[in-house]
Amino acid sequence: MKIAIIGIGAMGSLFGAHLHPLADVTLLGEWPEQLAALRENGLLVEMADGRSRRTPLRATNIIAEVAPADLALILVKSHKTAAAANVARQLLADDGLTLTLQNGLGNLETLAEEITPHPAALGVTSAGAAMAGPGHVRVAGMGHTYLAPPTGPGARITLAEVAALFQQAGFPTDLTDNPISLVWGKLAINAGINPLTALLRVPNGFLAEDPAARAIMAQAANEAAAVAQAQGITLPYPDAAQRALEVAQGTATNQSSMLQDVLRGARTEIEAICGAVVGYGRAYHVPTPANDVLLREIKRLEIGDWGLEIDVPAIISHLQSQIANLSNQEGRL
């Protein structure tokens, strides 16, 4: 199988390293330091148990060096999905398939619109990784991956073949007919963990240990669950706050992807996470004050207009006050 992984950050590196021994894999992206490191020394993969290995990985920023591909695996940030779709359209074989494993909502719809007539498929993964530097990825966990049927027929490879390949590569993978449940299930967890860790500059485990931070995490996750419920979507677990807590505990030492973005000074996926919760909440008349505040504060942070020092208790107090004020305003409407 000839696979083009669009995205050369942590997740692209993670999947590339594990798929490399089993398929013809090329990473495609624009990060100069990462491209140089991969070309010169390959990828250093540091596993969660401390073991490490160096894997040769082909990486390029030239589409012609990748085409034609059987599978385009999209692992870029959600705000880059349209650009990634344009790249995928140029490099796919006539009977090629596109698969997104991105965070947030709306990625499949963007892909499906941009790459027609090629089929696109949606996946949800809880695998996680972080870049320790160019050419060096730290694996937080392989998690579980679910793949849903593509938007249309015509692909030479099937989702079952992709799932079997992922499974062989070490990613526990299953097929599902109900991806929207999984997408919203992951969205609720991301809404609870990602923006709060980014604002506080803390690893995931802090949210489980600090009662005040845990309460904000729980409220954000529960709001997402309420918005899903208003749409008739049943999440893949019974309690969003409890599930967010379990994930924070299970990934205690991990830096969330949004924290990694903030530390790099990069744009975050806040619009596709908390922004999606707030948007759907308004459409379905479900209050989402915690997500609204987290959305606003991350956006202020992105443009350098936040103004708060890195003082965890002070930031938590500020967030609590903002959420309470917004809750009171919504209660009076």
Question: Rounded to the nearest 5°, which phi and psi values hold at 60?
Answer: -155, 165
Q: Answer yes or no: 186 catalytic.
A: yes
Q: Three-state SS for 236?
A: coil
Tell the residue number behind the tokens 């709001």, with chain if given.
223
Q: What is the DSSP letter of 265?
A: T
Number of other CB atoms surrounding residue 56 within 10 Å: 11
Number of other CB atoms surrounding residue 1 within 10 Å: 15
Q: Three-state SS for 332?
A: helix
ω before 117 within 30° of 0 (cis)? yes
Number of other CB atoms surrounding residue 8 within 10 Å: 27
Task: Give CA separation, 249 vs 42, 150, 187, 257, in Å.
Answer: 32, 34, 17, 16
**H helix count then E strand count, the chain:** 13, 12
Helix H or strand E segment including 62: none
Q: Three-state SS for 132?
A: strand
**Which of the residues 2, 77, 80, 186 is marked catalytic?**
186
Which amino acid is present at 322? Q
**Residues identified as active-site:** 186
